[in-house]
Structure formats: C-alpha cells, structure tokens
C-alpha cells in the first residue's frame, strides 16, 4: 500500500464523513409519523434509508421527504412491507432510486418521514437506519 497515494493525503477522497443515525420505528397510524428524521447538518445531504423490522407488523409504510419531520410523502418508498427482515427501497420493484438529496435543515425537504398506511396502530417493531453525507 502506498501511503503517499492521493487517496491517503487528499481529504476530498476521504469518505469517513458518512454518518448513520438510528431512528426507532414508531407505531404510527395513517395520521401519525412512524419515522421523523430531520437533517442535522447545515448543508444538503445525500441520504439512504434501510429498515430493520424485528417484529412484523400489519399494513405498509410510505417513506419520503418532509419539512421539519412532518408531512407525508412516498417518494422514497411506497407501500413497503412490514415483514420481519432488512428492507431498503431497492428491495421493492417500484423504487429504482435508493439515495435522495435532502435539503439543509430549516428548508422544505429537510427531513425523511415515514407513515403507516393502515388506520390502526401497526404492531411492527424495528428501526430505520439513515446513512447520509454532506454535499
């Protein structure tokens, strides 16, 4: 390994700036948030979402972008299953894009939100892992 390589000395090639936040999956209803993550960085980020469902639940989940952790959107994932296992948008045939540009904090589109499709609280238990880096 060449320690003088540009990949070891040039900070632009250092991808250690990738961050991951773990968000508990709420037992949301069609009117409640199951995921509400707000970009903690002052700049735009590129983010991806992975669900780890430890206990299967009823209904489906929609995940998208919102403002200040509120709102509903299915731009990232629409009608995702709540079966136990690890799920990411790429696992579903309708989700060709797996990473999204999230606006700087305080702007429209600064958060990732998730909402259950059913009208009664889901029994799903798990976490959403949000991997992101500043652009």
Closest by Cα among 19, 21, 18, 38 to 105: 38
Residue 115 covered by a domain:
yes
Most confident of 3-12, 43-52, 72-81: 43-52
Residue 113 covered by a domain:
yes
Residue 72 covered by a domain:
yes
| Distance in angstroms (rounded) separating the CA atoms of residues 15 and 86 | 24
What is the extent of the structural domain holding 44? 20-134
Quick one: CA dihedral 56, 58, 60, 63, positive or negative? Answer: negative
CATH of the domain at 95: 2.60.120
Per the structure, the count of domains in the chain is 1
Residue 127 covered by a domain:
yes
pLDDT digits (tens, 9 = 90+) for 103-112: 888 888 899 9
Residue 5 covered by a domain:
no
Asked if residue 4 has pLDDT above 70, the reply is no
């Amino acid at each position: 390994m060449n320690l003088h390589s540009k990949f070891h000395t040039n900070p632009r090639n250092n991808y250690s700036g990738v961050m991951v936040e773990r968000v508990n999956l709420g037992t949301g209803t069609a009117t409640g948030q199951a995921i509400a993550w707000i970009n903690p960085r002052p700049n735009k980020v590129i983010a991806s979402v992975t669900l780890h469902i430890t206990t299967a639940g009823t209904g489906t989940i929609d995940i998208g972008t919102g403002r200040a952790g509120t709102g509903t959107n299915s731009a990232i994932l629409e009608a995702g299953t709540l079966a136990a296992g690890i799920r990411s948008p790429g696992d579903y045939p309708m989700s060709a894009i797996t990473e999204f540009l999230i606006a700087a904090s305080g702007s429209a589109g600064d958060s990732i939100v998730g909402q259950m499709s059913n009208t009664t609280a889901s029994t799903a238990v798990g976490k959403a892992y949000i991997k992101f880096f500043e652009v």
